[in-house]
Amino acid sequence: MTSAIEFCGVHKQFGTLEALKGVDLRVEPGEFFGLLGPNGAGKSTLIHVLAGLVRASSGTAKVMGHDVRSDYRAARRGLGMVPQELVYDPFFTVRETLQIQSGYYGVRGNAAWIDELLVGLDLVSKADTYTRMLSGGMKRRVLVAQALVHKPPVIVLDEPTAGVDVELRQNLWQFIRKLNAEGHTIMLTTHYLEEAEMLCSRIAMLKQGRIVALDTKQNLLNLITDKYVRLKLTTGALPPSLQAKARPMEADRFVLPLTDYTELEGMLRELREGGAVVEEIELIKPDLEEVFVQVMHRH
C-alpha cells in the first residue's frame, strides 16, 4: 500500500544549522498521526519540506506516492496544510477567499462543498465578511477551510489551535475527526499534548532534527509504569515517611508515587494514624505529557 506521507533520509541544512538529520517516517492512509517535539525540534521544517515550502538538502518526501519535487503538482493537490501563521488576504470575504483558493487547484463548481466547510467550521455568519475584520480565532478557521477546499486526501495541521478559545477547539476537532472517519489522513503538530493523546493513534517525537520515539499512543503510554495518587488534606500533615517522597502542589495538596495500587491501603493507614484527614483522593495514570518529558530527557 502506498503511504499517505513518506519521508526517506530527509536532511535539511540552514547554513551551519542542521535542522533535520536523516528523518525516516511513513504515515499510512487514514491515520490520525501526531508529530510532537519541543520548539526548534524541526517539526515545522519537516512539514514545510512536505508542502514544498522548503527544499530538503537530501532525501525524499512524498504525498500519496508523489515526490514533492519531481511530481510536485500531484503532491500539492494531495495535501492540505494549515500553517501556524495567520496568513490571509484582507481584501476578500471569507467566501471569496475559498473560491479563489479553489481556483489555485483548478477546482470548479464546488459551491456545495464550500457551504459545507462554512457550516462545519461555524463560518456561515462570516461568509460575506472581509477577512481583515475577523478575530484571530475566526481567521484560523478560514485557514482550515482553505486547506480543505480542494478535498485533499492528506491534511497537515501545524499548531491549529494555538491561541484559540475552547469552543473553536471543540468545533474544529469534531470536524477534523469527521474527515478522518471519512478516510482523510491527518498529521497534527501541537504543544497541547492532551489533544494529541485524545486524537492520535500513532505518534512520533522529534528532538534536534531526529525522531527519538515512534510508536502507537498506547505503547508510548505503557513506557511509564509509575502510578500516582493525588491527595487533599482537610486537617493534619503528611507523616515524615510520606513527606520524603511527596511532591507538593499547594499547601494542602500532594502527589505521591505508587509502585502498586496495593500500597494505597498502607498509605491511608499512615495518614489516619498521624491524625491527617483526607478530603479528596484521586488516582493518576501516566499521560502523554509525562511520556514526552521522559523521552526528551533521555535523548
Residues 188 and 257 in one domain: no
Model confidence over 128-155: pLDDT tens digits? 999 999 988 888 889 989 999 999 999 9
Distance (Å, whole) CA 292 – CA 228 = 17
Cα separation, 259 vs 232, in Å, equals 20
Last residue of a domain, one of 169, 187, 221: 221
Looking at residue 159, its pLDDT comes to: 86
- Given a cut of 90, whether residue 167 has pLDDT beyond it is no
**CATH no. for residue 249?**
3.30.70
Q: Which residues contact 167 (CB under 8 A, 6 or more apart)?
A: none
Please indicate, yes or no, whether residues 201 and 275 belong to a single structural domain of this protein. Answer: no
In this structure, are 141 and 270 located in the same domain? Answer: no
pLDDT-derived band at 248 (thresholds 50, 70, 90) equals: low
**Could you tell me if 141 and 254 lie in one domain?**
no
Lookup: cell for 76: 500539492
Q: Is the pLDDT of residue 237 over 90?
A: no
Query: Residue 181 half-sphere exposure, CB side, CA atoms within 13 Å?
Result: 7
**What's the number of domains the chain is made of?**
2
pLDDT at position 261: 76
| pLDDT on residue 27 | 97
Q: What is the pLDDT of residues 13-49, one digit of tens each?
A: 999 999 999 999 999 999 999 999 999 999 999 999 9
Same domain, 241 and 202: no
CA distance 72 to 293: 37
In angstroms, the CA 177 to CA 196 distance is 12
Residue 250 has a pLDDT of 65
Residues 289 and 201 in one domain: no
Distance of alpha carbon 58 from alpha carbon 97, whole angstroms: 35
User: Can you give the residue range of the structural domain that contains 122?
Assistant: 5-221
Q: How many CB atoms lie within 10 A of CB 65?
A: 14
What is the pLDDT at residue 64? 96
Report phi then psi at 59, rounded to 5. 95, 175
* Same domain (yes/no): 278, 158: no
Same domain, 114 and 44: yes
Find out whether 28 and 3 touch, Cβ atoms under 8 Å.
Answer: yes
Q: Where are the beta strands (DSSP E) in the chain?
A: 5-14, 17-27, 32-36, 58-63, 66-67, 79-82, 154-158, 185-189, 202-207, 210-216, 227-235, 247-250, 253-258, 277-284
Q: Quick one: 257 and 157 in the same domain?
A: no
Which residues lie below 8 Å from residue 25, measured CB to CB, with a gap of 6+?
5, 6, 7, 204, 211, 214
Domain end (from 195, 221, 247): 221
- Considering the domain architecture, whether residues 211 and 235 belong to the same structural domain is answered as no
Residue 275 Rama label (left phi>0; alpha psi -120 to 50; beta):
left
pLDDT at position 251 over 70: no
Of 167, 187, 221, the last residue of a domain is 221
Those residues whose C-beta lies under 8 Å from the C-beta of residue 44, and which sit 6 or more positions away, are 84, 158, 189
CATH for 194? 3.40.50.300
pLDDT band at 108 (very low <50, low <70, confident <90, very high): confident
CA 38 – CA 293 distance, rounded (Å): 10
Residues 17 and 47 in one domain: yes
Q: Is residue 208 domain-shared with residue 231, that is, in the same domain? A: no
